[in-house]
Amino acid sequence: MMKRYSFMDDYSEGAHPKILKALQDNNFQQQLGYGNDDFCLKAANLIRQTIAAPGADVHFVSGGTQANLLVISASLRPYEAVIAVKTAHIAVHETGAIEFTGHKIIELDTADGKLTPDIIKPTLIEHCDEHMVVPKMVYISNSTEMGTIYTKKDLEELHRFCLENDLLLYMDGARLAASLVAREQDLAFEDIKDLVDVLYIGGTKNGALLGEAIVIFNEKLKIKFRYSMKQKGALLAKGRIFGIQFAELFRGNMYLDIASHTDKMAGKLAEGIRNSGYEFLAEPQTNILLPIFPRNIITKLKQKFLFHEWRNIDSDNVCIRLVTSWATEEKHIDNLIAII
Ligand SMILES: Cc1ncc(COP(=O)(O)O)c(C=O)c1O
């Protein structure tokens, strides 16, 4: 059988060639371990400069689940809970990692994968005494699991609401790059520091071999964070691997340039699908597309492509998930569109 091309995710390929080269070029340099190496220090500084937050703490970890469980468990008291959408990565795809740290996830329904103050408000009223957990943190991902984005206005509204209600706001930026370069996006790197308490900037899904950068703005959340990392096995002796990669990604504009390609490919794919007469479960905004196809089209697509089946719409139609990456070539998009 012909090898099928994968639109399953944005980490099907290895690393961007420039990152591999940087790893190779610095291979023989001797360095301190556990994130105290020159590369991590440089990468953290470049990130602080890019996001205009000179006082932020930056820590590198290997994956998104690890970042989420670390940030959430280090920020909350034992009886406090985190609010997220039902489709959130922490709610669906982290094998109960957050719950395993002892914190309940309060899952809320949304049509587009985004939280708003109006969606959160009833939960705060409902959780009224010591027989229930205390909602203390709001978790969002930007872009969301449905490929939608939080704009500056969305984030400002959530930020204001969180301040008024003594809630921490945490942004999972596994796909922050794809969100920041989205056509309809007006949020910039430098806006984020004033709007969230803590963030992680994704590398794994944007050209790195692996790695995420946790960025802490809230002074209280900074305290002894490295102790939490070490205790949970996240402080790697070879932290240099993250430093080298993030220093490369943030040396110039590479981090966003990579995502521009990713989103451009997704835009072309979305246009082709729409022009062929099909609709989407959520409006395509970044590199995750959720088109709805009849089953016979899906059978044909499966012969040449790999992708996730996201949701059954009805007996005839299924929503699938197509994801482009930094390495997606146009010819694969043309092939898919030709089939539909
Ligand atoms: C929004 C989001 N957060 C976190 C993760 C978790 O990443 P990992 O699989 O590296 O733990 C993912 C992975 O797909 C994700 O999409």
Task: Give per-residue pLDDT as tens, 282-334.
Answer: 999 999 999 999 999 999 999 999 999 999 999 999 999 999 999 999 999 99
Q: Where are the alpha helices (DSSP H) in 203-322?
A: 219-222, 225-231, 240-249, 254-275, 295-304
Among 266, 243, 55, residue whose Cα is nearest residue 179: 266
Which pLDDT score is estimated for 281? 97
Answer whether 329's CB lies under 8 Å from 15's CB: no
- In whole angstroms, how far apart are CA 307 and each of 89, 168, 322? 18, 35, 6
**How far does residue 194's CA lie from ligand 1's centre (Å)?**
24
Could you tell me if 78 and 180 lie in one domain? yes
- In whole angstroms, how far apart are CA 204 and each of 48, 117, 212, 302, 313? 19, 30, 7, 26, 31
Could you tell me if 187 and 271 lie in one domain? no
**How far does residue 261's CA lie from ligand 1's centre (Å)?**
21
Could you tell me if 159 and 242 lie in one domain? yes
Answer whether 136's CB lies under 8 Å from 120's CB: no
216's CB contacts (< 8 A; 6+ apart) are: 56, 57, 58, 59, 197, 198, 222, 225
Q: How confident is the model at residue 1 (pLDDT cuts 50, 70, 90)?
A: very low
Could you tell me if 39 and 158 lie in one domain? yes
Query: Which domain range does residue 238 map to?
Result: 17-249
With a 6 Å cutoff on the Cβ, whether 63 touches ligand 1 is: yes
Pocket of ligand 1, candidates 172, 290, 321: which has the most ligand atoms within 8 Å of its Cβ, to mutate?
Answer: 172
pLDDT tens readout for residues 31-83 = 999 999 999 999 999 999 999 999 999 999 999 999 999 999 999 999 999 99
Could you tell me if 135 and 65 lie in one domain? yes
Q: What is the DSSP string of 104-162?
A: -EEEE--SSS---HHHHHHHHHH--STTS-EEEEEEEESS-TTS----HHHHHHHHHHH
Which residue's structure tokens are 């932290």? 239
pLDDT tens readout for residues 134-170 = 999 999 999 999 999 999 999 999 999 999 999 999 9
Could you tell me if 193 and 242 lie in one domain? yes
Which pLDDT score is estimated for 2? 54
* 228: helix, strand or coil: helix
Any idea what the CATH number is for the domain that residue 142 is in? 3.40.640.10
Could you tell me if 181 and 305 lie in one domain? no
Any idea what the CATH number is for the domain that residue 290 is in? 3.90.1150.10
Domain boundary among 249, 271, 290: 249
What residues pair up with 323 in beta bridges, in sequence order?
288
Could you tell me if 87 and 174 lie in one domain? yes
pLDDT tens readout for residues 289-301 = 999 999 999 999 9
pTM: 0.97
Domain boundary among 214, 232, 249: 249
Instruction: Report whether pLDDT(127) > 60.
Output: yes
Nearest CA to ligand 1 atom 4: 64
Could you tell me if 236 and 284 lie in one domain? no
pLDDT tens readout for residues 74-121 = 999 999 999 999 999 999 999 999 999 999 999 999 999 999 999 999
Separation of alpha carbons 282 and 87, rounded Å = 13
With a 6 Å cutoff on the Cβ, whether 64 touches ligand 1 is: yes
Question: Half-sphere exposure of 273 toward its Cβ, with a 13 Å CA cutoff?
Answer: 27
**How far does residue 9's CA lie from ligand 1's centre (Å)?**
11
With a 6 Å cutoff on the Cβ, whether 287 touches ligand 1 is: no
Pocket of ligand 1, candidates 65, 199, 205: which has the most ligand atoms within 8 Å of its Cβ, to mutate?
Answer: 65
Could you tell me if 133 and 187 lie in one domain? yes
**How far does residue 60's CA lie from ligand 1's centre (Å)?**
15
With a 6 Å cutoff on the Cβ, whether 204 touches ligand 1 is: yes
**How far does residue 94's CA lie from ligand 1's centre (Å)?**
8
**How far does residue 8's CA lie from ligand 1's centre (Å)?**
13
Domain boundary among 215, 249, 283: 249
pLDDT tens readout for residues 222-236 = 999 999 999 999 999
Q: Taking each helix axis from N to C terminus, what angle separates 254-275 and 240-249, rounded to the nearest 10 degrees? A: 70
With a 6 Å cutoff on the Cβ, whether 321 touches ligand 1 is: no
**How far does residue 85's CA lie from ligand 1's centre (Å)?**
15
Number of separate domains in the chain? 2
Could you tell me if 209 and 263 lie in one domain? no
Could you tell me if 24 and 123 lie in one domain? yes
With a 6 Å cutoff on the Cβ, whether 47 touches ligand 1 is: no
CA-11 nearest atom, ligand 1: 14
Pocket of ligand 1, candidates 62, 68, 70, 89: which has the most ligand atoms within 8 Å of its Cβ, to mutate?
Answer: 89
